Every structure is written in structure tokens, then in C-alpha cells.
A = this chain, B = another copy of it.
């Protein structure tokens, strides 16, 4: 059985869990708390030298890091990853957008609010910067989702899973979601797609 090392409260770790749930595939969840330092132990760094979660372990022990690389691996051959070269390229485009232009602002602002351990880093200047940069990312999503029902086109894909992970908490993170009605409608569309589970869902085997 596949193992996913991850923190139950992390959006990045939720991505592969949500995908596995949607695909109806069993897996083992191993909790690794990145906020309390469990990703920096020698044991964990031997598995992922970059010291991050999630991490996928295959049945034969081979390892794969990076949430969106895990999504691409697990979604191959399913309805959530198109076969057409250009359609697939657009999924890749939005996966990289998520990690470069969205997550570093929206996920980070969420974490600075959510975890008391990080409160000292939440300076007013930084929070304002994160608000502006994250709003830019939401505006880019709003432009796309005003034209297509899902982020990479007409069909749900792992790009929607990746972007849903932290966009669902953007309101909590301080972003004014009334400015992004197409994004808000898309959040509901993703929640309504077959096999959806919420952030804190874990498999019974955990």
C-alpha cells in the first residue's frame, strides 16, 4: 500500500489525500508535523533531504517529494490528468503557478495567522505584502475562472486540487473573497466534484 507522510492540517499534504480519496485508492497516512520540527529530524531528512511534507513512499520503498509532483504521478491515466499534450501542459502551467505565485503568499499568510509558533514573523509589513501578492494570484484565477469552469479548462483536473488546497482558506487568511466571485463559485464546484473530502479527512488505516 502507498504511504503518504504529511501533516493533517497542511494544504500541501491535503492535495494527495484528496486525490487518493477521489480515486477511491487506499493508502497509509503517517503524521509528520512540520510546524513542530518533525520534518527536520535526521530520520526524516534521510527520506526527504529538502525537509518538507508531503512525501510519497511507494510499496517498494521508493520516495517522491513535492506535492504537485505526487499529484502528477498518482493521477496518470485518470480523469484528473488529460492525455492531450496541450491540455496537459495547461495543467502543468497551473501547478507551477500554484507553487510560485499562489502558495508562497496565501498559504504563508494562513500559517502566520493559524500557528502561534509563527506569530513573531507576522509583521504588519509582511502581512500587507502577502495580502497584495496573494490578491494578485486570486485575480489571475478570477480571470481564468470567469471564462472556464475549471482552472485548466472545461474539466476538473489535479490543477484544481492543487489550487483548492489553500484557496479554500483564503478568506481565513484575510483575503476579501467578495472581490473574486468566480473563484468562490469554483470552490463550490470543486467541493461538488465526485469523491470530495475535507481538509482534515484521513483514511481509516491511519
Our pick among B58, B66, B103, B104 for the contact of A92 (Cβ within 8 Å) is: B66
Q: Smallest CB–CB gap between A71 and chain B, Å?
A: 9
Stretch binding the partner chain, chosen from A3-11, A94-102, A168-176: A94-102
Q: Confirm or deny: A201 has a beta carbon within 8 angstroms of a beta carbon on chain B.
A: no
On whether A69 and B50 interact (CB within 8 A), knowing A99-B99, A104-B104, the answer reads: no
Q: Confirm or deny: A49 has a beta carbon within 8 angstroms of a beta carbon on chain B.
A: yes
In the complex, what residues of B have CB within 8 A of residue A73's CB?
85-86, 89, 92
Chain A 52-69: CB-based contact to B (< 8 A → 1; otherwise 0): 100000100010111111
Q: Confirm or deny: A144 has a beta carbon within 8 angstroms of a beta carbon on chain B.
A: yes
In the complex, what residues of B have CB within 8 A of residue A140's CB?
49-50
Asked if residues A49 and B144 are in contact (CB atoms below 8 Å), the reply is: yes
In the complex, what residues of B have CB within 8 A of residue A99's CB?
96, 99-100
Q: Confirm or deny: A90 has a beta carbon within 8 angstroms of a beta carbon on chain B.
A: yes
In the complex, what residues of B have CB within 8 A of residue A93's CB?
64-66, 69
Q: Smallest CB–CB gap between A206 and chain B, Å?
A: 24
Q: Closest residue of chain B to A64, judged by CB?
A: B89
13 contacts between A and B (CB under 8 A): A49-B143, A58-B86, A64-B90, A65-B97, A66-B93, A68-B92, A68-B96, A69-B89, A69-B90, A73-B86, A96-B99, A99-B100, A100-B100
Q: Sort A-B residue pairs by CB-CB distance and give the 6 closest, nearest first.
A: A69-B92, A66-B96, A69-B93, A73-B89, A66-B93, A49-B143
